[in-house]
Amino acid sequence: MTSAPVLPAGAAGSGNARERARQLDRDDELGLLRDEFNIPTKGQIASTSLPEGSSANNNDSDTTTKCIYLCGNSLGLQPRRTQTRLSQYLSTWATQAVQGHFKPLTNSPLPTWLDVDERAAEMIAPIVGAHVSEVAIMQTLTANLHLLMSAFYKPDANKRHKIILESKAFPSDHFAVETQLRHHGLDASKSMVLLKSERSRDNILTTEEICGVIDQHKEDAFLLLLPGIQYYTGQLFDIETITTYAKERGIFVIWDLAHAVGNVELRLHEWGVDAAAWCSYKYLNGGPGCIGGMFVHENNSAVTKLITDERPEEGYNHRLAGWWGNDKKSRFGMENRFHPVKGAAGFQLSNPSVLDITSLCASLEVFEQAGGMGKLREKSLRLTKFLEEQLEGMGEEEKGLFRVITPLDPKQRGAQLSLGLGSGLLEGVMKELERQGVIVDERRPDVIRVAPAPLYNGFEDVVGFVEAFGEALRVARRERDAF
């Protein structure tokens, strides 16, 4: 583990480290954003019932201490303003009913429901580095991957038909690719190319390895589907280099940005990414199962024919369509002739859930308050580096019980560090962390993922986690060795 330290050394979990962490938190210009979030108390996360009263953030009588939440890679915390925006939405529905679709209310910060998707696109575009017309807030991640493939994956079994993806892709991506191939009557064993590292047992893939596989299949690969950040290892791929390399060889490139969006800086337009999809419940804090998003590069969404043309279907690339993707001017004309909106919005199917979008946009307001992804990433780099250093500073005995799987090069990771535990320790570690009010997530058989999110985590969270983790390792080892 080499690279410039965030801080002069202070033994992990020592008073010294905590003092320094507090100082870093005091100096943090984004530190106040923590107050924008509902951080559960230790009492709340231990409780098996809803709190009395309507507020999710009731003061616990026995403990008002916040839990240590390092799990934004799985589910982001709830912004406080989500409740306000949702009750404004509910109030609009209650008092305006169908008029909510088109009637602006003078004192409401919310757009009319007909415009809600456009407002969301404006807010997400800077987060993914796209033109507003290149993004659509719609559906969910896996559905969007299917929709993108339905639009852009047009295989020819005798020429280009293969899809390249990782061998350890998130199962939903694997299933989506496998079933797309079957849908086209192709044999997955022949048309699916699985990227597997020759040198890393954790399947940390170098850019060279990926480009090597692209070269091997440059004649017959149609599509490359990769995650911006790998969910298990936390590896951040070089999206720009890989995209350029694949495209120069005639391969269409789609990125799954589930773990990258709201986590690292993205420049999808500038990097020439063909298309991408993401969910909004992780670093975007939209809430569980919240609406997803899609990017389609402007080069891929042209509509070349006028709406009055006799054969409008020839003026755009084919896709699975619905009325919400139809040009707004003619959408309500109720004609059975599909003419898509130019841009990503032309890939929408249904009118979107306003409930979902309202929830997502409440969180995107906090991103605006943060001043954009540049500032967040800058803090995130320091925070994760600090976590790495505190782990490195643990006692030799504890360090012998885990290893960091995520690349140590900060350019190759986002907020998350994945820690591989010694065999038989996972259950005991998770139980002890939970007992101490520390929330991280687990991936069986023996990995925990720890993700300090710069919007609401601070340096003291990291020190608290490392202290608890040391204790959890000792307890888990004792329990394991007692059997």
Ligand X SMILES: Cc1ncc(COP(=O)(O)O)c(C=O)c1O
Q: Is 447 in the site for ligand X (CB under 6 A)?
A: no
Q: How far apart are CA 469 and CA 289, in angstroms?
A: 29
DSSP string, 156-187: -TTSS-EEEEETT--HHHHHHHHHHHHHTT--
Q: x-or-dash pattern for ligand X, window 148-187, by CB under 6 A?
A: ----------------------x-xx--------------
Query: Can you name the residues that pair with 449 across neighbouring β-strands?
Result: 418, 441
Q: Is 141 in the site for ligand X (CB under 6 A)?
A: yes
Residue choice 78, 133, 142, 233 for contact with ligand X (CB under 6 A): 142
Minimum gap (Å) between residue 137 Cβ and ligand X:
13
Q: Is 140 in the site for ligand X (CB under 6 A)?
A: yes
Of residues 287-306, which lie at the interface with ligand X (CB under 6 A)?
A: 292
Residue 173 is assigned to a ligand binding site = yes
Q: Please tell me the count of residues contacting ligand X according to CB under 6 A.
A: 13
Residue 278 φ then ψ, to 5°: -155, 165
User: Is the separation of the CB atoms in 367 and 379 below 8 Å?
Assistant: no
Closest CB to ligand X among residues 33, 257: 257
Minimum gap (Å) between residue 164 Cβ and ligand X:
16
Q: x-or-dash pattern for ligand X, window 200-229, by CB under 6 A?
A: ---------------------------x--
Q: Is 398 in the site for ligand X (CB under 6 A)?
A: no
Q: How far apart are CA 286 and CA 282, in angstroms?
A: 8
User: Is the separation of the CB atoms in 440 and 448 below 8 Å?
Assistant: yes
Place of tokens 């936390």: 234
Q: Is 256 in the site for ligand X (CB under 6 A)?
A: yes
Residue choice 246, 258, 440, 466 for contact with ligand X (CB under 6 A): 258
Residue 281 is assigned to a ligand binding site = yes
**Binding segment toward ligand X, per CB under 6 A, in 23-31, 37-45, 138-146, 367-375:** 138-146
Q: Is 232 in the site for ligand X (CB under 6 A)?
A: no
Minimum gap (Å) between residue 350 Cβ and ligand X:
16
Residue 156 is assigned to a ligand binding site = no
Nearest alpha carbon to residue 200 among 232, 174, 238: 232
Q: Is 279 in the site for ligand X (CB under 6 A)?
A: yes
Minimum gap (Å) between residue 8 Cβ and ligand X:
37
Q: How far apart are CA 393 and CA 399, in angstroms?
A: 9
Question: Prior bond to 445 cis, omega within 30?
Answer: yes
Q: How far apart are CA 340 and CA 302, in angstroms?
A: 10
Residue 2 is assigned to a ligand binding site = no
Place of tokens 């009263």: 53
Closest CB to ligand X among residues 75, 473: 75
User: Is the separation of the CB atoms in 150 and 205 below 8 Å?
Assistant: no
3-state secondary structure 394-441: CCHHHHCCEEECCCCCHHHECCCEEEEECCCCHHHHHHHHHHCCEECE
What residues make contact with ligand X under the rule CB under 6 A?
A: 140-142, 170, 172-173, 227, 231, 256, 258-259, 279, 292
Enumerate the known binding-site residues for pyridoxal 5'-phosphate. 141-142, 170-173, 256, 259, 281, 323, 351
